[in-house]
Structure 1
């Protein structure tokens, strides 16, 4: 009943009819019939008010509790909500002033008041809407008319700007240089600790050459949303150009298995990509940094990603020699003739 105003009003009407029968048990038939007609006139007055002021659908049928009630009660006149004096006049026209007792008029007036409250309270939001000025309704309809119309040049200019750099579509780690993305290769094993001067030897996974020595990096990973790195670093990868041992002095090492990561590093900082929480960007802490030609590794926690910068290698840190002795393995800088690789 609370969710359906029509059922609520009908329950009030049925209760009023039932109580009226209890009161008219000892009354004469004439007074009983006048009271019943007055009650039905009040019910239809409430229904007429609900249709005109709140635009509620009329009850499809108002069942009567007694066959003595009128089957065709008179309709109330159209107009605003009737007051107490208007109700008396309405019932007098429907039943005759000389045949209607005063207590029946008071009962009908009380019924009308209660019924009006049951109508207005559930519909208070709609009544507030009906009371708004016409100008407010026009303002609400303007956006509806604008739907589907072609966008103006100003609206087009407000569209989000295109990305300032190319975005990868697959998860991975990429180098960004000259507005081009280059995917980096993952090196085998764990990245060496920064306190380790030279890592174990490994093979290069394949050439990954960048166009210049001022790269930035794009990290695109699913776990980045909850685990973004604040710092990263780029370390030098050196080639073991020559090995000295008791078995073979001065043996040249095969290029496929003669590379190590050194602890010469360049720090990088991370910054988020605003429109993609799974992606962040790495840039050098030194804006003027220019990596010299050679091999490098991007260190992200315990993973290393290989890339190279093209050009003639002249940095002595890119070359190293290994000495294997009975007391251990030692490394030293390459001689000058081995710098150019």
Structure 2
């Protein structure tokens, strides 16, 4: 095709136009109908501008070569020319050569047309991909800021250390699978998994259970570390801590206002909850940390459970219980069991 149109600038420009239209349509999908229409209009406007520019170029015919005097020979493949006197002929030859030198070659016109089309295409692509270009520019700017060389810190003299086969683990990283509470950022306390499945948060009171004997946390600012084998495939985005209340009194037909003692240790999970967020730990892909959404949260002394999907982990916060939600009364009637807040905590 190029050999066919190489002597026809207009045909060559049409080939470039068709190629530009094809490459433009190749970049879009069916979902970009509005962008396709706008880009095609911009491309056609650029093509019309190139055509107007090419029509303004002066078309000068090829120079005529006079017959050499005395030789009787003419240049091959030249149209017949009118023989002029020597003086006029010399003048004509000078004019034709000057015009020939001033004529813009075909490839310069094609080059200008290609440059205009490339500029128009670059403008269309930049308008459509401006968000990606902005994000790419911000990424490179961050890389430049982080790549600034900083002076190396002074290195202390190396001391002889015993070599071990495994790297040392942080003291706040558990070695066994489980769920742990962080105690004063110094140690870990493993939580006890309650049997059964915790109720949905829309259920006000769960079934009664016996609280396990477990060491309490010294304050109400808990953080938790979950160490599980399936953390990568079964990760969480959110968790919650719910209040556990003790059944202090029971009213029934057999015993009215019976106060339950330590031997009748019965507890229920209530639907009062505190939301917690999940953060990955950089030094282990099987661990993640749970922290409260409210940095100023302080759980009052009492009993709680950490809900991780379908599992409940029990823990308690030491101190005198003053939160009324930690106490509940049960009424056993013929038509069911009912709960109410304690009148006297």
TM-score (norm 1): 0.51
Change (3 A) 1:164 1:285: farther
Gaps of 5+ in 2: 1-153, 160-166
1:271 aligns with 2:279: yes
Q: Which has the larger radius of gyration?
A: 1
Distance 2:261 2:278 in 1: 37
Question: C-alpha displacement at 1:177, in angstroms?
Answer: 2.2
Distance 1:290 1:304 in 2: 20
Superposed, 1:108-187 pairs within 5 Å as 153=156, 166-178=172-184, 179-187=186-194
- How far does the alpha carbon of each residue in 1:15-64 deviate from its partner, in whole angstroms, 9 at most, with x for none? xxxxxxxxxxxxxxxxxxxxxxxxxxxxxxxxxxxxxxxxxxxxxxxxxx
1:221 aligns with 2:225: no
Question: C-alpha displacement at 1:275, in angstroms?
Answer: 1.5
Match of 2:257 among 236, 250, 263: 250
1:296 aligns with 2:300: no
Distance 1:152 1:326 in 2: 78
Distance 2:171 2:331 in 1: 46
1:322 aligns with 2:330: yes
Match of 1:190 among 173, 193, 197: 197
Residue pair 1:184, 1:208 contacting (<8 A) in 2 also: no
Question: C-alpha displacement at 1:257, in angstroms?
Answer: 3.6
Q: Which runs of 4+ in 1 moved over 3 A?
A: 151-156, 161-165, 254-257
Task: Give the superposed CA RMSD.
Answer: 2.3
1:335 aligns with 2:343: yes
Question: C-alpha displacement at 1:328, in angstroms?
Answer: 1.1
Distance 2:261 2:281 in 1: 42
Distance 2:252 2:155 in 1: 78
SS in 2 for 1:174: strand
TM-score (norm 2): 0.50
Q: Residue 292 of structure 2 corresponds to which residue in structure 1? A: 284
Question: C-alpha displacement at 1:162, in angstroms?
Answer: 8.3
Q: Residue 211 of structure 1 corresponds to which residue in structure 2? A: 218
Distance 2:285 2:180 in 1: 16
Distance 1:323 1:173 in 2: 35
Matched length: 183
